[in-house]
Structure 1
């Protein structure tokens, strides 16, 4: 098994680590969601990782390390600008892409096994990389008080929310099903009113459209933001709505439209497993000095 974090043939000085920035969930470069990936990160401290993630100011920055579980091909730590996450979707696909592109050799030809704080996550290698959604850590209907808070944060009457469900798998998403994709696209959220909530919304497109649903993901607070394209949220939505028949077993989600992105998330429920995939493209290659 190749060292999971070294970039073959790339020269770098002491203290400089190989680095990629990968665009995830769009076939068109610069229209997906970027993730920063630092290779060969075993020498870095928690403080250095957190500081670099804060400095990149991307939704997530990842650090590749040798695995501690013999079943894994590599280990990853995932940081937002403010915290470390046990799992996140687009960083999983971006990290797997960067690891493979750097010459990583998985134990199984058809998939890569990532070790993260949430456990082992399998990434299938097919037309696009697709991760197997980990089990939800919290999965239950949102209560009336939570729905009222969600409605206020979305500036919608509570009756506009058809149903809402906690779909926590790393990020603490609560997802709301709205009437249709146009309603999703028209939402103008009040980030301050979210008061720490991470809210995902989803609505169906008419039959025959290019995509099946429109998804948006909001992280609340004084520095609140809308995430361009979100693997963890799409995984949670699929695990919530496919079993109940509200979404088909295979579909394509559009996300990032309001932000000028063209995210496309490919979702498939297959033999009891939910797979979430999309295109991955390296945009930046180089090195970083964190000492």
Structure 2
């Protein structure tokens, strides 16, 4: 059976940048084991399988797999799939076209607003289905620094210290002093378990305040070697959880805050993730993730 698929680059407005994504449009009838094998075959950070929606009012049900396991939610697959399904609905557009795409993910229903522009990258923004909350404490600076190949004095800046937050997928958030430290961070697998052995801290988001782009607020890298992802060019699920980090350490005032995160620059795949945070009475009230994506290839799987 021929199954259509598309490849997209997400959180970018040009091909061969951002985070690549595979979307299998005809996923019906595939077993869990077959989906995992296909994701391993594509060997991208994530592969999405599109299935008929359980609720006919929704756009699709989706399953999201890394090369190593299934995820209940992920950001760049949500953005990329929403833009692709809007393209499937409207085809090539000459002006602007707006769409609402509702994806049934394992975490719940994710509502996405999509804007297509003729001859330009599409844009999607979605409401994060689960607000960021603290998870288990992380360890001391010394083992964390060793696991990243850094010195302990390079871990932390201002009042930011290592923490763990989750918005569907947990991450250990490790602040580092500057871009130089961020560029030198590299998983040291002989020390990884010593720093991050206790679940759910094995996926690590390293960030600093210093940035490359003038309009970015943070620069970040994400390492998930135990998920089959040595480094991820852009991680929307981590950005969703990062909302809790920023609220906690930066003590934001009530209202709406726009934060742009740059990621992937150290991999030669620059990515820009838009994070919007709504605060009410000092608490997270709403979080949105947005970004662009372009379709770079289409094909068929003969499976």
Q: Where on the TM-score scale, by shorter chain, does this alignment land: which range?
A: 0.7 to 0.9
* Cα drift, residue 209 of structure 1: 2.1
Moved more, 183-192 or 201-210: 201-210
Partner of 2:147: 153
Partner of 1:73: 59
Counterparts of 2:169 and 2:190 in 1: how far apart (Å)? 18
Partner of 2:257: 249
Matched position secondary structure for 1:72: coil
Counterparts of 1:98 and 1:24 in 2: how far apart (Å)? 11
Asked if the contact 1:20–1:37 (Cα under 8 Å) also holds between the matched residues in 2, the reply is yes
* Cα drift, residue 61 of structure 1: 0.6
Are 1:189 and 2:187 an aligned pair? Answer: yes
Are 1:55 and 2:53 an aligned pair? Answer: no
Moved more, 130-139 or 76-85: 130-139
Are 1:177 and 2:143 an aligned pair? Answer: no
Asked if the contact 2:130–2:168 (Cα under 8 Å) also holds between the matched residues in 1, the reply is no
Counterparts of 1:98 and 1:166 in 2: how far apart (Å)? 32
Report the CA distance shift for 1:239/1:70 in structure 2 as closer, same or farther (over 3 A). Answer: farther
Partner of 1:27: 13
Counterparts of 1:217 and 1:185 in 2: how far apart (Å)? 12
Asked if the contact 2:133–2:244 (Cα under 8 Å) also holds between the matched residues in 1, the reply is no
Q: How many residues align?
A: 272
Counterparts of 2:133 and 2:302 in 1: how far apart (Å)? 38
* Cα drift, residue 26 of structure 1: 1.0
Report the CA distance shift for 1:120/1:208 in structure 2 as closer, same or farther (over 3 A). Answer: closer
Moved more, 165-174 or 91-100: 165-174
Partner of 2:270: 262
* Cα drift, residue 65 of structure 1: 0.7
For structure 2, which runs of at least 5 residues remain unmatched after alignment?
A: 92-97, 116-121, 280-284
Partner of 1:133: 128
Moved more, 34-43 or 120-129: 120-129
Report the CA distance shift for 1:75/1:221 in structure 2 as closer, same or farther (over 3 A). Answer: closer
Partner of 2:4: 18
* Cα drift, residue 36 of structure 1: 0.5
Are 1:198 and 2:203 an aligned pair? Answer: yes
TM-score (norm 1): 0.83
Counterparts of 1:36 and 1:206 in 2: how far apart (Å)? 29
Asked if the contact 1:191–1:221 (Cα under 8 Å) also holds between the matched residues in 2, the reply is no
Partner of 2:22: 36
Asked if the contact 2:67–2:228 (Cα under 8 Å) also holds between the matched residues in 1, the reply is no
Counterparts of 1:88 and 1:192 in 2: how far apart (Å)? 28
Asked if the contact 1:32–1:262 (Cα under 8 Å) also holds between the matched residues in 2, the reply is yes
Counterparts of 1:118 and 1:211 in 2: how far apart (Å)? 29
* Cα drift, residue 207 of structure 1: 11
Match of 1:210 among 211, 215, 218: 215
Are 1:117 and 2:106 an aligned pair? Answer: yes
Partner of 1:4: none
Report the CA distance shift for 1:215/1:206 in structure 2 as closer, same or farther (over 3 A). Answer: closer
Report the CA distance shift for 1:92/1:192 in structure 2 as closer, same or farther (over 3 A). Answer: farther
Report the CA distance shift for 1:111/1:223 in structure 2 as closer, same or farther (over 3 A). Answer: closer
Counterparts of 2:211 and 2:295 in 1: how far apart (Å)? 33
Report the CA distance shift for 1:287/1:236 in structure 2 as closer, same or farther (over 3 A). Answer: same
Counterparts of 2:55 and 2:296 in 1: how far apart (Å)? 30
1:170-208 deviation per Cα after TM superposition (whole angstroms, max 9, x unaligned): 443111222334432332331442236110011112799
Counterparts of 2:175 and 2:191 in 1: how far apart (Å)? 19
TM-score (norm 2): 0.80
Runs (4+) of structure 1 exceeding 4 A deviation are 221-224
